[in-house]
Amino acid sequence: MKLVMGTAALGLPYGLPAHAGGVPALIAEDDARQLIHLALAEHVDTFDTAPAYGVAEQRLGEALGERAQVWTKLGHDRDWDTIAASLTRSCQRLRRERIDVLQIHNWQPDLPIAALLDALRADPRVNMLGCSTYGVEAALSAVRDGHFGLVQVEWNLLNQQVVEAIGDEAAKRGVQIAVRSVLLQGVLSERPLPTHLAALGAGRAAVAHAALRHGMSLAQFAIAAACGHPRIDRVLVGVDAPEQLHVALAAMRAPVLPEAHLHVGGALTDPRMWKGST
């Protein structure tokens, strides 16, 4: 299945609030477990997590056991003992001996860690080495680096530039592309748009209009567009409620959409620029 269930919202408050003026809330432990079990029942076979996602690794390990594939991440530690200890703790929390894809979070081409990457690729606890990146330069460098079998990048209907820049070369090199931020942390959903993101309103309206033409909700259309993209191998969708999972699954099963070019661009299509906004 192309869908990968993102678990940030299962471990910490994340994304836009459910109601205008509110704040994100952490999903209850029992609700998180039931949601993971529902995903398994619907044949979701891959889950993306990280130590930085609060209690997500622990919750995922308790609910999954040895079932399904799990991707997790490392930070920017530059000594083997610290990296090995982080990997050990992740395996313990996830209750498994082997990580299917271990990703270097926010990888940059100038990180002097080539020897460490070689050691990680040789570690029996790591099935595949990957990385997450931001922006075209880092993503393209990661594709060319030679250590990574998977590169995770940002992509949504308001910002498609990274996949456009790396897609052909990744295919030639046999590097998988996984995309995140398909819903732009809820901007491309039916949740109210906060005042500080009002500049994204026109782009969101354009996507909503296209979704209406196809008889889909805004979120379903945004996910379906990613799933149908010929250069995207895996689509990460974070969910914190059963209805969100059902939307993602319906999008996975939808007919392939005509390629959409609704580029808005600008700083606000990067959630890192939202910090400090009011």
**pLDDT one-digit tens code per residue, 218-256:** 999 999 999 999 999 999 999 889 999 999 999 988 887
Per-residue pLDDT at 18 exceeds 60: no
Q: What is the pLDDT of residue 278?
A: 35
* Cα–Cα nearest to 18, from 221, 244, 209: 244
| pLDDT band for position 152 (cuts 50, 70, 90) | very high
Q: What is the pLDDT of residue 277?
A: 44
How many domains does one find in the chain? 1
Per-residue pLDDT at 173 exceeds 70: yes
Per-residue pLDDT at 64 exceeds 80: yes
Q: What is the pLDDT of residue 274?
A: 79
**Distance between terminal CA atoms of the chain?**
38
> And the tokens for 160?
């498609």
Distance CA 50, CA 55 (A): 9
Q: Where are the beta strands (DSSP E) in 105-261?
A: 129-132, 150-154, 176-180, 234-238
Q: What is the pLDDT of residue 12?
A: 87
Domain span at residue 177?
3-274
Highest-scoring range by mean pLDDT, 36-50, 113-127, 199-213: 36-50
Helix (H, G, I), strand (E, B) or coil at 14: coil
> And the tokens for 213?
């033409």
Q: What is the pLDDT of residue 22?
A: 60
Among the residue ranges 68-77, 138-147, 268-277, the one predicted with the least confidence is 268-277
Q: What is the pLDDT of residue 265?
A: 60
Amino acid at 67: R
What DSSP designation does 95 have? Answer: T
> And the tokens for 131?
């990385």
Identify the CATH number of the domain in which residue 20 sits.
3.20.20.100
Per-residue pLDDT at 160 exceeds 70: yes
Among the residue ranges 61-75, 137-151, 207-221, 245-259, the one predicted with the least confidence is 245-259
Q: What is the pLDDT of residue 52?
A: 92
Higher pLDDT, 230 or 275: 230
Neighbouring C-alpha atoms within 13 Å toward the C-beta of 105: 15
Global pTM exceeds 0.75: yes
**pLDDT mean across residues, the chain:** 89
- Span 19-46, average pLDDT: 86
